[in-house]
């Protein structure tokens, strides 16, 4: 079975631009969560979605948004990129919300220049 | 305000010896504690967890101890192997709507052959 798939693996954007990151969960997993890992820090929670509905939001500005599609895949969108948005963005999927059996993808490395 | 703290950024041990990785937390509402292992260019991989109602959980070479009164947990790896060299994250989670993971900064473990 395929694990959690994230695309792209790497990308470079310019300040002020917009970026869309994509995540395909493990088959049968209905919940997707997004985390941001800045260099030297642990992953920080951004969003959790379950059955296309937002179930949790971390302490991130409104420039960050996400959605989940009927096939349970998800997109993370970041507008008006700042240098500080440079990070590894991790997607994790789980069967249900409220259960902590998360499986993480390998992440998307975003560099903002 | 870090709710999960891993105060030692790195640890180096000899192959075959015990590795002890420590973690402290401040939020008494956490219900589960987890350890994740992360290799470069990969997402975090679940290692072992413990419920707040237990004080010890063992899985092969890995044992996690929880001291609720001290808000402290530790991961013991015995015996340590070179393949254990990685970054280890301590994470905590609540239940239900609070099931997001709160991570520490991580500890880099190096096991010397």
Q: What is the pLDDT of residues B37-47, one digit of tens each?
A: 999 889 999 99
Sign of CA dihedral A66, B46, A44, A50: positive
- Pick from A10-19, A83-92, B52-61, B88-97: least confident: B88-97
DSSP state of B81: -
Reference A42, options B20, B100, B59; nearest CA is: B100
Residue B28 has pLDDT above 70, yes or no: yes
For chain A, the average pLDDT equals 93
Task: Say what the pLDDT of residue A112 is.
Answer: 98
CA angle A19, A24, A22 (to 5 degrees): 5
Q: What is the pLDDT of residues A57-102, one digit of tens each?
A: 999 999 999 999 999 999 999 999 999 999 999 999 988 766 567 8
Q: Are A96 and A31 a contacting pair, CB within 8 Å?
A: yes
Q: What are the chain A neighbours of B106 within 8 Å (beta carbons)? A: 41-42
Mean pLDDT of the region B81-92: 96
Q: Which residue has the tokens 């401040």?
A: B26
CA angle A53, B47, B16 (to 5 degrees): 165
Mean pLDDT of the region A43-48: 96
Interface test with A, best of B10, B25, B38, B44 (most A CBs within 10 A): B44
Quick check: B4 and A105 CB within 8 A? Answer: no
Higher confidence at residue A78 or residue A40?
A78
What are B34's strand-pairing partners? B49, B91
Task: Say what the pLDDT of residue A74 is.
Answer: 97
To 10 degrees, the CA torsion angle through B37, A46, A111, A105? Answer: 40
Q: How confident is the model at residue A19 (pLDDT cuts 50, 70, 90)?
A: very high
Task: Say what the pLDDT of residue A102 is.
Answer: 87
Residue B58 has pLDDT above 70, yes or no: yes
High-pLDDT (> 70) share of chain B, %: 96
Task: Say what the pLDDT of residue A99 is.
Answer: 58
B46 lies within 8 A of chain A by CB: yes
Q: Which residue has the tokens 């249900």?
A: A96
Task: Say what the pLDDT of residue A98 is.
Answer: 63
Mean pLDDT of the region B62-71: 97
Q: How confident is the model at residue A105 (pLDDT cuts 50, 70, 90)?
A: very high
End-to-end CA separation in angstroms for chain B: 38
Q: What are the chain B neighbours of A98 within 8 Å (beta carbons)? A: 95-97, 99
Mean pLDDT of the region B17-44: 94
High-pLDDT (> 90) share of chain B, %: 84
Quick check: A42 and B43 CB within 8 A? Answer: no
Quick check: B100 and A56 CB within 8 A? Answer: yes
Q: What is the pLDDT of residues B94-104, one digit of tens each?
A: 876 667 899 99
What is the C-alpha to C-alpha distance for residues B88 and B111, in angstroms, rounded to an integer?
13
Alpha helices in chain A (DSSP H): none
Q: Give the count of Cβ contacts less than 8 A between chain A and B.
A: 60
Interface test with B, best of A45, A100, A101 (most B CBs within 10 A): A100
């Amino acid at each position: 079975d395929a694990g959690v798939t994230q695309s792209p693996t790497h990308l470079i954007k310019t300040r002020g631009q917009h970026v869309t990151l994509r995540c395909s969960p493990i088959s049968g997993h209905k919940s997707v969560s997004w985390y941001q890992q800045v260099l030297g820090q642990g992953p920080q929670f951004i969003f959790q979605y379950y059955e296309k509905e937002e179930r949790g939001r971390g302490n991130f500005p409104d420039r960050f948004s996400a959605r989940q599609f009927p096939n349970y895949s998800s997109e993370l969108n970041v507008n008006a990129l700042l240098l500080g948005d440079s990070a590894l963005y991790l997607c994790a999927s789980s069967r249900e919300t409220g259960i902590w059996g998360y499986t993480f993808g390998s992440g998307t490395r975003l560099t903002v220049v | 305000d870090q709710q999960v703290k891993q105060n030692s950024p790195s640890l180096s041990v000899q192959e075959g010896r015990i590795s002890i990785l420590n973690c402290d937390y401040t939020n008494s509402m956490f219900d589960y504690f987890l350890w994740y292992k992360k290799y470069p260019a990969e997402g975090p991989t679940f290692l072992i967890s413990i419920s707040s109602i237990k004080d010890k959980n063992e899985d092969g070479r890995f044992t996690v101890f929880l001291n609720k009164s001290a808000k402290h947990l530790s991961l013991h790896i015995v015996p340590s192997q070179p393949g254990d060299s990685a970054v280890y994250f301590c994470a905590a989670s609540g239940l239900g709507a609070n099931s997001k993971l709160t991570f520490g900064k991580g500890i880099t473990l190096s096991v010397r052959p």
